[in-house]
Amino acid sequence: MLTAQIIDDVVARALAEDAPWGDITSELLIPADARVEATLDAREPGVFSGAAVFEAAMRQVDPGIRVAFQLADGDRFEAGAVLATVDGLARGVLRSERVALNLVQRMSGIATLTAAYVAEVAHTDARIVDTRKTTPGLRALEREAVRAGGGFNHRFSLSDAVMAKDNHLAVLAAAHGGDVTSALLAVRARMSHTTHLEVEVDRLDQIEPVLAAGVDTIMLDNFSLADLRAGVELVAGRALVDASGGVNLDTVRAIAETGVDIISVGALTHSVRALDLGLDVGFVPGTLATASGSTSPQPASS
């Protein structure tokens, strides 16, 4: 869950990275009392995500900056739409700008891509879910963006569920004389009753030994469409079926139509393109002094 504390921590680290000893450009060029009005503009269509993060970046630099959003996370927008307005002292807005944009552009890119996947499988019962292939330090933000796009989250971390993949099974089976069922039953006996158990297989003949251990979810990894359909029939509702591997916008519809319950898509976060958003700034009349002491509003663009 994306909490205010997580947002503040991420933003604080990003601001410290971007201006460790202040923004010397704005401090030298911009009068301390100059004010700006700015708009967060969409330069391409998409799905919005990151309002709280964008606002936090502005607020942490200057609590007096006011941000008003024209839409909510999860809302669609067209190119040219004004997504938010910003009003405040110029130095604060300019110092916040890059961090605020970087985060909201990435989150909106993830939400937009997720929505495209969700649309492809809308005629089925399959859920589009993310993976742990996230940007280090930004997982909570990126997974919030997946939800804004209509997707769902897989386990958040290694601490949240037992998920035995091929390398785990190789070691585990060796320790139990090759008997995967017994190995998994031993694991289940040590687990809390509230902990979810998912096991990955890459062949049809692995399904029954895994199901015999009473797993909650079975992941069919890099299966062909024919084998996915056969796997779903073999599982027959005894566990949730999670499909992974080879998933993209060209293949996800056919994968969903095999009857799987879950489709894990690493691309939602590990290779997404940031959406093209911009902060267009204009000075407020009467707040920028010229050398002669008069005022002259000057439009500016980031």
The pLDDT of 260-274, averaged and rounded, is 96
The pLDDT of 259-282, averaged and rounded, is 96
Query: What distance lies between CA 226 and its chain's CA centroid?
Result: 31
Q: Which of 155, 165, 238, 253 is catalytic?
A: 165
Does 146 share its domain with 259? yes
Q: Which residues contact 194 (CB under 8 A, 6 or more apart)?
A: none
- Is 17 considered catalytic here? no
Asked whether residue 302 is assigned to any structural domain, the reply reads no
Does 172 share its domain with 216? yes
Does 33 share its domain with 74? yes
pLDDT exceeds cutoff 90 at 283 = no
pLDDT exceeds cutoff 50 at 294 = no
pLDDT exceeds cutoff 60 at 295 = no
Residue 155 belongs to domain with CATH number: 3.20.20.70
pLDDT band at residue 54, thresholds of 50, 70 and 90?
A: very high
For residues 142-168, one letter each, b for 16 or more C-beta atoms within 10 angstroms of the residue's C-beta and e for the rest, the string is bbbbbbbbbbebbeeeeeebbbbeeee
pLDDT exceeds cutoff 70 at 51 = yes
Does 165 share its domain with 68? no
Q: Which residues contact 274 (CB under 8 A, 6 or more apart)?
A: 102, 105, 106, 108, 109
Q: Which residues contact 88 (CB under 8 A, 6 or more apart)?
A: 35, 36, 58, 62, 64, 65, 66
Does 104 share its domain with 184? no
- Is 233 considered catalytic here? no
Q: Which residues contact 176 (CB under 8 A, 6 or more apart)?
A: 182, 183, 186
Asked whether residue 155 is assigned to any structural domain, the reply reads yes
160-206, pLDDT tens digit by residue?
Answer: 999 998 888 778 767 666 688 988 998 899 999 999 999 999 999 99
The pLDDT of 117-145, averaged and rounded, is 97
Does 139 share its domain with 228? yes
| 302 or 232, higher pLDDT | 232
Does 71 share its domain with 155? no
The pLDDT of 211-233, averaged and rounded, is 97
The pLDDT of 263-275, averaged and rounded, is 96
The number of domains in the chain is: 2
For residue 73, the model assigns a pLDDT of 98
Does 247 share its domain with 227? yes
pLDDT band at residue 289, thresholds of 50, 70 and 90?
A: very low
pLDDT band at residue 286, thresholds of 50, 70 and 90?
A: low
Residue 53 burial (CB < 10 Å; 0-12/13-18/19+)? buried
Q: Which of 73, 200, 242, 261 is catalytic?
A: 200
For residue 1, the model assigns a pLDDT of 82
Q: Which of 8, 18, 41, 133 is catalytic?
A: 133
The closest of 90, 85, 75 to 41, measured between CA atoms, is 85
Asked whether residue 48 is assigned to any structural domain, the reply reads yes
Asked whether residue 294 is assigned to any structural domain, the reply reads no
User: CA-CA distance, 240 to 261, in Å (whole number)?
Assistant: 6
Does 128 share its domain with 95? no
Q: Which of 98, 155, 188, 229 is catalytic?
A: 98
Q: How many C-beta atoms surround the C-beta of residue 20 within 10 A?
A: 7
pTM for the full predicted model: 0.91
Does 137 share its domain with 164? yes
Tell me the average pLDDT of the chain: 92
Asked whether residue 299 is assigned to any structural domain, the reply reads no
User: CA-CA distance, 273 to 71, in Å (whole number)?
Assistant: 22
For residue 171, the model assigns a pLDDT of 80
For residue 293, the model assigns a pLDDT of 37
69-122, pLDDT tens digit by residue?
Answer: 999 999 999 999 999 999 999 999 999 999 999 999 999 999 999 999 999 999
- Is 257 considered catalytic here? no
Asked whether residue 298 is assigned to any structural domain, the reply reads no
Beta strands in the chain (DSSP E): 35-42, 46-47, 66-69, 76-77, 82-89, 127-129, 162-164, 197-201, 217-221, 240-244, 262-264, 277-283
pLDDT exceeds cutoff 80 at 21 = yes
- Is 98 considered catalytic here? yes
- Is 202 considered catalytic here? no
Poorest-pLDDT segment among 48-57, 142-151, 180-189: 180-189
The pLDDT of 111-140, averaged and rounded, is 97
Domain that holds residue 74: 4-117+274-283
Residue 107 belongs to domain with CATH number: 3.90.1170.20
pLDDT band at residue 288, thresholds of 50, 70 and 90?
A: low
Asked whether residue 301 is assigned to any structural domain, the reply reads no
| Per-range mean pLDDT, top range of 37-41, 285-289, 297-301 | 37-41
Does 82 share its domain with 174? no
Asked whether residue 160 is assigned to any structural domain, the reply reads yes
Does 135 share its domain with 86? no
For residue 292, the model assigns a pLDDT of 32
For residue 287, the model assigns a pLDDT of 60
For residue 176, the model assigns a pLDDT of 65
pLDDT exceeds cutoff 60 at 35 = yes
For residue 297, the model assigns a pLDDT of 39
